Amino acid sequence: MAIIKVQKGTKDILPSEMPIWHFMEETANKIFTKYGAKEIRTPIFEATELFARGVGDTTDIVNKEMYTFEKSDRSLTLRPENTAGVVRSFIENGMHRLSAPVKLWYKGPMFRYERPQAGRQRQFHQVGIEVFGIKQATADAEVILMAVDYLHELGLNDLTVELNTLGCPKCREEFKTKLKDVIRPYLPQLCEDCQTRFDKNPLRLLDCKSPECQEVYAKPEIQAVIQGDFICEECSEHFEELKNYLDTLGIKYERNRLLVRGLDYYNRTVFEIKSNNLGSQNAVCGGGRYDSLVKNLGGEDTPAIGFAMGMERLASLIGERAEEKLTAYIVSNNTAEAVKLTQELRSKGIACEFDLTNKKFVKQLEKASKTAKFAVILGEDEIANGEVTVKNLDSGEQKTVKRDELKLD
């Protein structure tokens, strides 16, 4: 019979890879908790409309990448990202009544129908933060700091923080008009996507990966508009404040005026963190401010800012982590005593196993040295004397102790 295989663009995360995943997850909990963030878990599927309204219907995510299905006349979608779900939950659970800032973090699988390639899957995982209720640039700085702190704690230092401001809807309108005016003459030379985006969402043009389009956007008259400062005084002050905070915190960044981010809902601050050790899919973190989203989804007017990181990309940078070994393996030819001792140790919280098949003593010792840190030997003498022999499988050191005085460290 034909073997059923894992779906294109999806992967098993195997036990051998788990040390890295546990490390990423435990570090997220540790670091984000330090900043006062609380974990939230929202459903994997939501009403399709949430993403259409929340992510934006001019984005690639909503137009091309969603896994949408019908059930009982309802259109549902596997979440392509988690900000919309967290915002829905924030509104539905009245979290605007909590004292600001409300800091939430999440981790879990996301689904996008994309062309699978290195660093790009159809089911992938993100870990992220959303901070609600603060419009001041202090929140922007704190969110970037949380991202950098987390990455450093994972041992990732060869990174570049790219920063930009998209201004507010008001200043952005003027920029869009100017940008369209200079790009219009080149419209026929642009890719199909850019031709569609031209009217719907001209900022996204700058984000295009096609070399032909980028050649057009590199023209001096277009660069003059891109590099010119279009943002209004208030937005400009906000950006200056953010940069000052980052300088105070010693966080290095580079201004990237082409950074517009794929999602519709961003305003003012946008940022990306790129690894200098990944190929073309080198962004490990993307984030930004989205002050109008909570209101657009029917909530109270609440400013917010957040980021998401791709965990597969982080995992590929973290490299090897030591295998998670059992603490103890019980070696004995007396199965009844072995079971009893195993349960005694497990009840003390010690991870251990014994031989379920009554193999020869030597085979059991071999198994112990492959899987555990300690062999706990229970021979006839030990049983008779209420003792156990503990062998440290790293050092080879061995000692016999009273059973109730057994310590494994």
Which residues contact ligand ATP (rule: CB under 6 A)?
A: 81, 112, 114, 119-121, 124, 126, 262, 281, 283-286, 308-310, 312-313
Whose tokens are 């009403």? That residue is: 47
CB nearer ligand ATP, residue 60 or residue 355: 60
Q: Residue 352: which H helix or E strand, with range? A: strand 352-354
At closest approach, how far in Å is the CB of 312 from ligand ATP?
A: 5
At closest approach, how far in Å is the CB of 53 from ligand ATP?
A: 17
Two structure tokens written together for 182: 């200079």
CB nearer ligand ATP, residue 167 or residue 287: 287
Please calculate the CA angle 289-210-219 and round it to the nearest 5 degrees.
85
At closest approach, how far in Å is the CB of 124 from ligand ATP?
A: 3
Residues 80 and 45: their CA atoms lie apart, in Å, by 9
Count how many residues are written for the chain.
Answer: 409
In 3D space, the residue among 54, 45, 109 whose CA is nearest the CA of residue 74 turns out to be 45
CB nearer ligand ATP, residue 31 or residue 308: 308
Residue number of the CB closest to ligand ATP reads 310
CB nearer ligand ATP, residue 280 or residue 343: 280
In 3D space, the residue among 248, 255, 284 whose CA is nearest the CA of residue 270 turns out to be 255
At closest approach, how far in Å is the CB of 288 from ligand ATP?
A: 9
In 3D space, the residue among 24, 48, 8 whose CA is nearest the CA of residue 285 turns out to be 24
Q: List all residues 6 or more positions away from 230 whose beta carbon is below 8 Å from its beta carbon.
A: 167, 171, 172, 174, 175, 178
At closest approach, how far in Å is the CB of 321 from ligand ATP?
A: 20
Residue 260's identity, in one-letter code, is V
At closest approach, how far in Å is the CB of 62 from ligand ATP?
A: 12
CB nearer ligand ATP, residue 85 or residue 286: 286
Contact criterion met (CB below 8 Å) for 304 and 263: no
CB nearer ligand ATP, residue 98 or residue 118: 118
Two structure tokens written together for 244: 């000052």
